[in-house]
């Protein structure tokens, strides 16, 4: 980044660009005005007496509460284990509990039924761990849905829509 804009006898009449970028704070807060001060220094006495310029810029907050899930679809063999990583998109003010419900307990064994995020670990990956059940049935590949729902007193996270993760359990039985 540049902290100087220089005008001289060759470019005095040409506009110069200043690129301003806000730093993402991952907090859910209001849009707000910030001020940028331009201090004027010159060797030319005609410009040296100019007052500093203060520019007001609106910083628009684009942080929205949500969870990041990776991958959203996964395939595992019967008898094998798998995991899906989950973390929050923004820093919560209060604990956020994500409840995990297995929609087909005959095909998939779920190792954890909830994950808790705090304002300390909100951006650290936590794992949803599971294992495909060996059923000895020739039933073909099965899609199991895991329902993720939010439980929180945090104003920003208490009305988040549920997420569905799909795990494809690959049948290991042969005809």
Q: How far apart are CA 43 and CA 94, in angstroms?
A: 55
> What's the mean per-residue pLDDT of the chain?
89
Q: Are 164 and 147 in contact (CB under 8 A)?
A: yes
Instruction: From residue 18, give the alpha-carbon distance in Å to each of 36, 41, 44, 93, 127.
Output: 11, 17, 23, 35, 43
Q: Quick one: pLDDT at residue 175? A: 59
- The predicted-structure confidence for 52-104, as pLDDT tens digits, reads as follows 889 999 888 888 898 999 998 899 999 999 999 999 999 999 999 999 999 99
Burial class (CB in 10 A: 0-12, 13-18, 19+), 6: exposed
Strands (E), 39-162: 53-59, 67-70, 73-77, 81-88, 96-102, 108-110, 114-117, 126-132, 142-152
Q: How far apart are CA 61 and CA 24, in angstroms?
A: 9
Instruction: From residue 57, give the alpha-carbon distance in Å to each of 22, 68, 82, 146.
Output: 11, 31, 47, 44
- The predicted-structure confidence for 98-131, as pLDDT tens digits, reads as follows 999 999 999 999 999 999 999 999 999 999 999 9
Q: Which residues contact 10 (CB under 8 A, 6 or more apart)?
A: none
Query: Residue 2 pLDDT more than 70?
Result: no
Q: Quick one: pLDDT at residue 1? A: 46
Whether the model clears a pTM of 0.75, i.e. scores above it, the answer is no
Q: Quick one: pLDDT at residue 54? A: 93
Q: Cis bond leading into 94, ω under 30°?
A: no
Give CA 128 to chain center in angstroms: 17
Q: Are 87 and 115 in contact (CB under 8 A)?
A: no
């Amino acid at each position: 980044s540049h902290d100087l804009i220089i005008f001289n006898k060759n470019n005095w009449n040409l506009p110069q660009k200043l690129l301003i970028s806000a730093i993402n704070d991952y907090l859910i807060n209001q849009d707000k005005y910030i001020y940028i001060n331009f201090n004027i220094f010159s060797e030319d006495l005609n410009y040296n007496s100019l007052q500093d310029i203060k520019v007001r810029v609106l910083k628009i907050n684009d942080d929205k509460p949500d969870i990041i899930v990776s991958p959203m679809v996964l395939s595992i063999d019967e008898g094998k284990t798998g995991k899906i990583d989950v973390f929050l998109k923004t820093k919560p003010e209060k604990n956020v509990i994500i409840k995990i419900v297995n929609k087909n307990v005959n095909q998939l064994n779920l190792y954890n039924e909830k994950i808790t995020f705090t304002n300390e670990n909100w951006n650290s990956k936590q794992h949803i761990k599971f294992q495909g059940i060996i059923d000895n049935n020739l039933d073909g590949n099965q899609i199991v849905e895991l329902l993720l729902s939010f439980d929180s007193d945090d104003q920003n996270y208490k009305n988040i829509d549920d997420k569905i993760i799909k795990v494809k359990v690959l049948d290991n039985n042969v005809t």
